[in-house]
A and B are shown apart, each in its own frame.
Chain A
Amino acid sequence: MKDERFVIALYVDNQFGVLTRVTGLFTRRSFNIDSLTVGVTEDERYSRITITMRGDELTKEQVINQLKKQFCVKKVDLLDESSTQRELMLIKVRHTSGTRTEIMTAVDVFRAKVIDYSPEEMCIEVTGDPSKMDAFVTLMQPFGILEMCRTGIVALDRGSATLLTK
C-alpha cells in the first residue's frame, strides 16, 4: 500500500491537557505528523485541531479510530481531497539594491505581502496551500533566508458540510 498525504480535522474539548492527549496518542502509536494546528472555533466549548500526515490506508483508518476513542474528541474526520487548505508563512530574506526588484516581483506574483522592511532585510507574509509555500521558499533561497516559520495547514471542507454535522 502506498503512503499518501491526508488531512484530519478534530473537534476537541477546549480544556487543558487535551492537546497532550492527542499528540501523545500519535507518539505511542508511531504515527508521524507533518503539521498540526490548533485554535478556537465557532463554539467556545471546542477547539479545532487540523493534522496533516502521511500513511497508507490502514494507518489512515487506525488514526481515525484511535482518535474517536478519546473522550476529549467530540468529532473526527478525514477532510476531502478537494477541501480548502491554507497555510501562513512568515519569511525574512536579505535584500540588496541588486535583488530588491526580483524579490518584489515574486511577492507580487505570489500575492504575498511585505510586512516589515529595513535597509537590508524584509519580512514577507505568504498564505496559500503548502505547495505554494514550498515554491516561494525555493525562489527566496538564492537571496538568503534569515528565518522563517509556517503555521501548518488549516482546512475546511467545501460547500455547506461542516465537521460537526458531517
Chain B
Amino acid sequence: MKLNGAEIVVRTLIEQGVTDVFGYPGGQVINIYDALYKYQEEINHILTAHEQGASHAADGYSRATGKVGVCLATSGPGATNLVTGIATAMLDSIPLVAITGNVPCALIGKDAFQEIDITGVTLPITKHNFFVKKIEDLADTLRTAFAIAKSGRPGPVLVDIPKDVQLATYEYEPQPPVKRTPPPKVDEALVERAAELLSLSRRPYIYIGGGAAGLGMGKAVIEFARKIDAVIGCSFMGLSAVPDENERFLGMQGMHGHYASTIAQKEADLILAVGVRFSDRATGNVKKFAKNARIVQLDPDPSEVNKNVRVTLGLVGDVEDSFKRIAARCEAEKRPEWVARVEELKAEEARLQQEIEEANKEKITPKQVFDVINAVKTPETIIATDVGQHQMWTAQYVSFARPRRWISSGGLGTMGFGLGAAMGAYVATGDKTVLITGDGSFGMNLNELATAVSYNIPIIIVLLNNGVLGMVRQWQTLFFGERYSQTVLSRQTDFVKLAEAFGAVGKRAETPEEFEAAFQEAFQANRPYVIDVTIGKDEMVLPMLPPGGAIDDIIVKVEKKPRRKKK
C-alpha cells in the first residue's frame, strides 16, 4: 500500500514491536505526530517536559526490559536536547532508536530555521546513525536501525528524517520484527584454553558487568561459581544480575565498591571477566590492577579486549555461549582456602561498616534510609538513581533480587538521568519504581515531575538532601583541603511545596521513623511522591579508591578533623 513517509515511520515502529514512544512535537516532526494520532490505539506516546527527559525515559524503558527504547524529537534544539540521553545510552551500551525530523532536503546546509546537522553532532555518541535522503530507503533504514541497536554489543542509533521525506509517498509492506543476530561463536581451542586456566586457578573471581546483566546470565554465573567454588563480583553496570542474597556474591568492586569484593579481586589469581570493559572507575590505576591474576575476558566487542587492561585470553563473540561451554568443560572442584579467605574479607567489611555507622552521629544516615527501602520494597521493585553520592550508596546498600531492576547511568554519569529513566522503566513494566536522587541531580531535570503527574506514573522519589553537591564536596574534603568551591547550594527550594505545585505528594523526613512512615505511605499509594530526606552534608561514600590510585590506597574511613579556621 502507498503511504506517506510519516505514516511509514509509525507503521514500521509498530511492525518492529514498539508499543511506547517518548517524545516532544515540533515543526519538522508534525507529520509524524499526525501519524501517531492516527495510530494512537496501537502505539502509546508519552509527552515529556523536555526532550532530554524523553531520551532518558527511552533508555530506562530499555534497561528495565531489554527492548529497544524509542524517542522522538524535532529538528534543531529538539534534536540537540536528545544528545545527553543518547550519549548516556552509548556509554552503557543500551539499545535505543532516536528519531529526529529535519528541514526539507532542499534547505539542508542553508542554516534554515531549526536546522542542525544532528548526524554530525551524534557521530561519536551513536553506534551508528542515518540521514534518510530518499523515501525508498525509509522503512529499511528504520529496520536496520533496530537491528544495529540490539545486535552484538547494543547501543543507540539515530535516524534523521527530513520533512520532505516524511511527506513523500511510497509503497509500504509490513515486515516481521528484525531479530537480534547473536555474535559469532568462539573457537573451541579458546574455550578449552579458558577452561584450562580456570582449572589451574586456586582463587577464581567471576567478574560480571553490564554485558552479563543485559544477557540475563545471573543463573548461569551462580551455578558455575558453585561448581568451581569461585566468588562473584560485579562492576557498577553488573548490579542486579545476581541476587544480593547469594552467598558467593560480593557486590560491586572498584572506586566505591564493597571492601570484600574489591580486595578479593586484588587477591584473585584468575579473573573471569564477563561483559565488562574495565572502566577507570572499576580498575583504579591499570598498571597495578589485578597484578597477580590471569584475566580471561568474554565480550562481543573485539575492541574491548586489551583496550584498558591487558588480558591473558580474550574470547570475542557470543558471551553466553562461550560461558556455557567453558562451564561445561570445567570439573567441579572445591577451593576451601579461597572460600575461607573471602569469608574473612566479608567479616572485615561488616566490621568496617559497623564502625562507620556507629561513628555517625547524624539524625538519619544514608544506610538507615536504605535499610527501610530494602525492608519495604518487593523483589520486583525497580530502583533508579541519578548521579553522585546517593547513587553510590544505592549501589552499595540496595539489595536486588531480580535482574533489570537497576537503572542508573554508569559510564557517562549523567546527573538528571534518574527521573526520566524511572518513568521509562515504569511505563515499560508497570512495576513499582523508586528513584533515589540528590538535591543536585534532582534540580537538573525535575521538570519531568509534570510528566509523572499528568500520566500518573507513580514514581517514589527519595531525595537525599544534604544541601551540597556531595560527591564533589567529598573530593574537596579529601583532596582539596576542604576548599568547597561552588559545591554549597544555598538554595531555598521547598521540595514538599514543589512536589505539591506539580500535583505530586510531598513529604519531609528527618529521622528513620519519619522516613519509614513516608516511604510506606508512598509505597501503598498510586501517585508520584517526593520524600525530602535531610541528611548530613559531611556524609561520605566509603570505601573509596582515590582517583588514579591502586587498591592498596583504599580509604576505608575518614577521621573527622577539626574544622580549620578560615584565614
Interface of A toward B, CB cutoff 8 Å: 17, 20-21, 24, 28, 58, 61-62, 65-66, 68-71
Partner of B148, one of A66, A68, A71: A71
Is the CB of B75 closer than 8 A to any CB of chain A?
no
Inter-chain CA distance A28–B303, complex, in Å, is: 14
* Pairs A-B, 8 closest by C-beta atoms: A65-B303, A65-B302, A71-B128, A66-B303, A28-B124, A24-B123, A58-B306, A69-B303
Contact indicator per residue, chain B 303-328, by CB within 8 Å of chain A (1) or not (0) = 10111001000000000000000000
Inter-chain CA distance A107–B15, complex, in Å, is: 67
Inter-chain CA distance A62–B314, complex, in Å, is: 13
Closest to A21 in B: B123
B148 proximity list for chain A (CB < 8 A): 71
Are A62 and B303 neighbours in the complex by a CB distance under 8 Å?
yes
Closest to A28 in B: B124
Is the CB of B119 closer than 8 A to any CB of chain A?
yes
Closest to A67 in B: B303
Is the CB of B481 closer than 8 A to any CB of chain A?
no
> For chain B residues 99-123, which have a beta carbon within 8 Å of chain A?
119-120, 123
Distance between A43 CB and nearest chain B CB, rounded to angstroms: 21
Q: Contacts A69-B301, A71-B148 given; indicate if A61 touches B306 (C-beta within 8 A).
A: yes
B307 proximity list for chain A (CB < 8 A): 62
- Other A-B contacts than A62-B306, A65-B302, 5 sampled, CB-CB below 8 A, are A17-B131, A20-B120, A68-B302, A69-B303, A71-B148
B302 proximity list for chain A (CB < 8 A): 65, 68-69
Distance between A13 CB and nearest chain B CB, rounded to angstroms: 11
Closest to B155 in A: A69
Distance between A148 CB and nearest chain B CB, rounded to angstroms: 32
Distance between A64 CB and nearest chain B CB, rounded to angstroms: 8
Interface of B toward A, CB cutoff 8 Å: 119-120, 123-124, 128, 131, 148, 301-303, 305-307, 310
Distance between B534 CB and nearest chain A CB, rounded to angstroms: 42
B310 proximity list for chain A (CB < 8 A): 58
A28 proximity list for chain B (CB < 8 A): 124
A58 proximity list for chain B (CB < 8 A): 306, 310
B305 proximity list for chain A (CB < 8 A): 65
Closest to B302 in A: A65
Can you show 18 pairs from A to B with CB atoms below 8 A apart?
A20-B120, A21-B123, A24-B124, A28-B124, A58-B306, A58-B310, A62-B303, A62-B306, A62-B307, A65-B303, A65-B305, A66-B303, A68-B302, A69-B301, A69-B302, A69-B303, A71-B128, A71-B148
A66 proximity list for chain B (CB < 8 A): 303
Distance between B120 CB and nearest chain A CB, rounded to angstroms: 7
Inter-chain CA distance A20–B121, complex, in Å, is: 12
Inter-chain CA distance A21–B127, complex, in Å, is: 11
Distance between A153 CB and nearest chain B CB, rounded to angstroms: 24
Among A21, A68, A69, the most chain B Cβ lie within 10 Å of the Cβ of A69
Q: Contacts A71-B128, A71-B148 given; indicate if A20 touches B123 (C-beta within 8 A).
A: yes
Inter-chain CA distance A62–B148, complex, in Å, is: 21
Inter-chain CA distance A62–B303, complex, in Å, is: 6
B128 proximity list for chain A (CB < 8 A): 70-71
B124 proximity list for chain A (CB < 8 A): 24, 28
B131 proximity list for chain A (CB < 8 A): 17
A70 proximity list for chain B (CB < 8 A): 128
Inter-chain CA distance A28–B126, complex, in Å, is: 13
Inter-chain CA distance A28–B128, complex, in Å, is: 15
Distance between B367 CB and nearest chain A CB, rounded to angstroms: 40
Distance between A140 CB and nearest chain B CB, rounded to angstroms: 41
A68 proximity list for chain B (CB < 8 A): 302-303
Partner of A17, one of B119, B301, B303, B306: B119
B119 proximity list for chain A (CB < 8 A): 17
A65 proximity list for chain B (CB < 8 A): 301-303, 305
Inter-chain CA distance A48–B316, complex, in Å, is: 26
Distance between B271 CB and nearest chain A CB, rounded to angstroms: 19
Distance between B136 CB and nearest chain A CB, rounded to angstroms: 15
B123 proximity list for chain A (CB < 8 A): 20-21, 24
Closest to A25 in B: B124
Inter-chain CA distance A83–B474, complex, in Å, is: 56
Closest to B120 in A: A20
Inter-chain CA distance A58–B148, complex, in Å, is: 27
Inter-chain CA distance A61–B307, complex, in Å, is: 9
A69 proximity list for chain B (CB < 8 A): 301-303
Distance between B184 CB and nearest chain A CB, rounded to angstroms: 12
Inter-chain CA distance A65–B299, complex, in Å, is: 13
Distance between A44 CB and nearest chain B CB, rounded to angstroms: 18
Inter-chain CA distance A163–B199, complex, in Å, is: 40
Distance between A16 CB and nearest chain B CB, rounded to angstroms: 9
B301 proximity list for chain A (CB < 8 A): 65, 69
Closest to A24 in B: B123
Closest to B157 in A: A71
Inter-chain CA distance A70–B123, complex, in Å, is: 11
Inter-chain CA distance A62–B306, complex, in Å, is: 8
Distance between A22 CB and nearest chain B CB, rounded to angstroms: 11
Distance between B156 CB and nearest chain A CB, rounded to angstroms: 13
Distance between B125 CB and nearest chain A CB, rounded to angstroms: 10
Inter-chain CA distance A21–B131, complex, in Å, is: 13
A20 proximity list for chain B (CB < 8 A): 120, 123
Inter-chain CA distance A28–B302, complex, in Å, is: 18
Inter-chain CA distance A165–B301, complex, in Å, is: 23
